[in-house]
Amino acid sequence: MHSNVVFFESNKEQLLRQTFDHIKTLSYPLVKMNQTHSDNIHLINPKTLQKKITTILNTDCLITNSKNIILAVRTADCMPIIISHPSGYLCSIHSGRKGTEKKLLQKAIQTLSKKTQSNKDFSIWFGPHICSHCYEINSKTREYYNLQKNNITQLQNELNLSENHLIVSPYCTCCNNTMYFSYRKNNQTKRRNFFFCYLK
């Protein structure tokens, strides 16, 4: 991520309660999503935000160009994606299989390219997510889904990756289950990993 982006996360080791103590000391507004595996992109209007926490309904992608607004995405096997651009744009995405099939990442890049008038110098971070070996989607046909590969394809459809910077987390939430909550590994747990970022 670019040096104008601050990032932190909560997971099995760094629990959400501790992270919220840190967020309180920042006293910045936090924006979270009521994630619905949609391809809806929400552009944040800072004037409409609550002082502490604002929940955006029915969206899986947040975009802001305002400083000191914390974007939150929650996952347990789906992929969190954070995109930043040096012109001062930040984007946070919840990308599961459904969102990926609806081409959410590709649509987000199209929106960001329009906003920034640029198709280079983006920094794209693929956070911890279920790997293709763990993500069986049909036990009869033994079909597996590759979240990472499908999202990389969408990036390549919009951006020249040699002019942009892609960072992929080495962690599978299912394989590295001591660190991250996994819906599949932990009996459909309601607990989630949270990924936070803001422009400073």
Binding site for Zn ion (CB under 5 A): 131, 134, 172, 174-175
What's the min distance (Å) between Cβ of 61 and Zn ion?
Answer: 25
DSSP 28-58: --EEEE---S---EEE--GGG--SSEEEESS
- Minimal CB distance to Zn ion: which residue? 172
* Cβ distance to Zn ion smaller for residue 109 or 134: 134
CB of 135 to Zn ion, least distance (A): 8
Q: Give the nearer residue to Zn ion in terms of CB position, either 92 or 100.
A: 100
Residue 187 CB, nearest approach to Zn ion (Å): 16
Q: How far is the CB of 176 from Zn ion (least distance, A)?
A: 8
Q: With respect to Zn ion, which residue has the nearer C-beta, 70 or 79? A: 79
Closer to Zn ion by Cβ: residue 77 or 158: 77
**Contact assessment for residue 197 and residue 1, using Cβ atoms and an 8 Å cutoff:** yes
3-state secondary structure 156-180: HHHCCHHHCEEEECCCCCCCCCCCC
Tokens of 22: 């840190």
CB atoms inside a 10 Å sphere around CB 185: 19
Q: For 116, which DSSP code?
A: H
Smallest distance from Zn ion to CB 155, Å: 21
Query: Which residue, 121 or 136, is less far from Zn ion as judged by CB?
Result: 136
Pick from 186, 187, 183, 161: nearest CA to 37: 183
